[in-house]
Amino acid sequence: MNAPIRSAEAQALAAYADQAWDQRIVPALTEYIAVPAKSPMFDADWAAHGLLERVVQDAARWVESRKVAGLKLEVVRLPGRTPVLFFDVPATRAGAAGADTVLLYGHLDKQPEFNGWRNDLGPWTPKLDSGLLYGRGGADDGYAVYAAITAIEALDRQGIARPRCVGVIETCEESGSPDLPAYLEALKPRLGNIGLVVCLDSGAGNYDQLWLTTSLRGMVSGVLKVEILTEGVHSGDSSGLVPSSFRILRQVLDRLEDSRTGRLLPEVFHCAVPAARAEQARATAAILGDLVWKRFPWVCGADGTPALPTTTDPTEALINRTWRPTLSITGAEGMPELANAGNVLRPFTAFKLSLRLPPLVDGHQASVALKQLLEDNAPYNAKVTFHPDGRAGALGATGWNAPDLAPWLEGALNGASRAHFGAPVGYIGQGGTIPLMSMLAAGFPKAQMMVCGVLGPKSNAHGPNEFLHVGYGKRLTAAVSQVIAACP
């Protein structure tokens, strides 16, 4: 058993993280946010544009500049795939040869701009305002590589022994990580025996304690397209005879979703909620209360009162966003802007679907089932196609349910949370998707998982006004240091 971190050591870790963020991490992230390094799904010419390459090289130079003892760093490249930043730092603990390795994970690719940014903000115009660093990608997930190296540095500067640490920082996570399996296979001989995975790409229920992610949803995304004509025609001449492509699309979606309640109808997309996760949801609901749903930017209705969520019960709200499948429409084609919308019956309607899956539902199987459901027996014999995202043989991303916590990790998490936040660790499922986690769970079934992140209330990853809570980032970095030191 490793000696627990003393109070003075915890304070030293916190002080180091605090200084590192102010002097090195925030400046690096400010430069990073300014680069529109969009994920390949949103920039088909990413290789020619060189923006992913730029943020990888910037991060690599920053890591090398820290001169961590024994650190080896490489930008790994496989033909036709996005690059991966890989670092390897030897253990400082005596007798660590053959012991478990800590794997730290993050990504550098970003979501697209989106609209609705505050007048003084923008996706590529970083701004530090009252401890919040605004701009696309800082919180999701550009900070990860900088925080990971700082967490290691903090231990080494204080002379606190730790195990070997390796890092995998990818550049296609926002596209569903299609390149990651090939890299994990290529790197497998160099990863070692992974005993702890620290994933810094998740969220927090509040900014008052350390939050451990207990589950992640899977996802199937793709384009559903309904074609009824080869070209647009006069709506007065054709409507009533030619069926609307939008109405056909609605009928097709009715096979999938109850539009009144939002429940997905096919049972193949559902799974039972484990009793332990339901109990954790109840405990987290008691901590967060109405913050679970009030944290979103609700519009006011015609009567001046805010719009309402699907449920105001905090426990049900937590389960809805973590263990139940949901459908979102995230984009559309075939519809002209309102200013150019003439009296034309449009030839096609296309929607981008984002189907979030419960953690225990297989993503590839769900993708196959969704395609069959949407395409079979099209109304009016229209041309209905669904093209899921991803590579052949790996369509859809499977979610993840955390393994049971080892006693050492449970104790370390609580100790780190109390030392750096003054409160016990919180447990929360997340509705987002990190494909790496299911891959690592399959490849390293005995590894413990510390999945955490800075995406707390109103941080709004993927949307307008995304921000990174710098104070939380500092405390999280120190907490990660403390947990790494406790790894057997």
Contacts of 26 (CB under 8 A, 6+ apart): 128, 133, 470
What string of DSSP letters covers 130-148? TTEEESTTIIIIIHHHHHH
First to last CA, the chain: 7
Indicate whether 201 and 239 sit together in one domain.
Answer: no
Domain boundary among 355, 380, 395: 395
Residue numbers in the chain where pLDDT is lower than 50: none
Indicate whether 28 and 120 sit together in one domain.
Answer: yes
473 secondary structure, DSSP code: H
Indicate whether 139 and 165 sit together in one domain.
Answer: yes
The answer to whether residues 429 and 281 touch, using CB atoms and an 8 Å cutoff, is yes
The enclosing domain of 404 has a CATH number of: 3.40.630.10
Amino acid at 121: L
| The pLDDT of residue 435 | 86
Question: What's the CA dihedral at 398, 401, 406, 411 to 10 degrees?
Answer: 120
| CA-based nearest residue to 167, from 95, 108, 215 | 108
Helix axes 26-33, 51-65, angle to 10 degrees: 170
The answer to whether residues 170 and 75 touch, using CB atoms and an 8 Å cutoff, is no
- Number of domain units in the chain: 2
| CB-CB neighbours of 72 under 10 Å | 12
Indicate whether 429 and 385 sit together in one domain.
Answer: no
Instruction: Return the structure tokens found at 347.
Output: 């030839």
In a domain, 309, yes or no: no
Indicate whether 111 and 59 sit together in one domain.
Answer: yes
| CA-based nearest residue to 109, from 62, 61, 54 | 54
Domain boundary among 336, 368, 395: 395
| CA-based nearest residue to 110, from 170, 29, 37 | 37
Find residue 89's DSSP bridge partners: 165
The enclosing domain of 263 has a CATH number of: 3.30.70.360
Sign of the alpha-carbon dihedral angle for 471, 472, 475, 477: negative
What are the angstrom distances between the C-alpha of 459 and each of 77, 116, 126, 314? Answer: 32, 14, 14, 20
The answer to whether residues 213 and 402 touch, using CB atoms and an 8 Å cutoff, is yes
Alpha carbon distance 211, 450 (integer Å):
9
Looking only at the bridges linking them, the beta strands covering 211-216 and 400-401 are: antiparallel
| The pLDDT of residue 394 | 67
Indicate whether 367 and 481 sit together in one domain.
Answer: no
Alpha carbon distance 368, 388 (integer Å):
9
| CA-based nearest residue to 217, from 452, 400, 369 | 400
Indicate whether 172 and 33 sit together in one domain.
Answer: yes
Identify the domain containing residue 257 by its residue range: 219-290+314-395
Indicate whether 164 and 247 sit together in one domain.
Answer: no
Which region holds residue 14: left if phi is over 0, alpha if psi is between -120 and 50, else beta?
alpha
The answer to whether residues 134 and 121 touch, using CB atoms and an 8 Å cutoff, is yes
| CA-based nearest residue to 425, from 457, 451, 460 | 451
Count of all residues that appear for the chain in the document? 488
| CA-based nearest residue to 199, from 214, 186, 220, 178 | 214
Contacts of 392 (CB under 8 A, 6+ apart): none
Domain boundary among 338, 362, 395: 395
Indicate whether 169 and 270 sit together in one domain.
Answer: no
Place of tokens 């699907």: 310
Indicate whether 41 and 88 sit together in one domain.
Answer: yes
| CA-based nearest residue to 82, from 199, 202, 198, 182 | 182
In a domain, 435, yes or no: yes
Find residue 134's DSSP bridge partners: 127, 467
Indicate whether 458 and 474 sit together in one domain.
Answer: yes
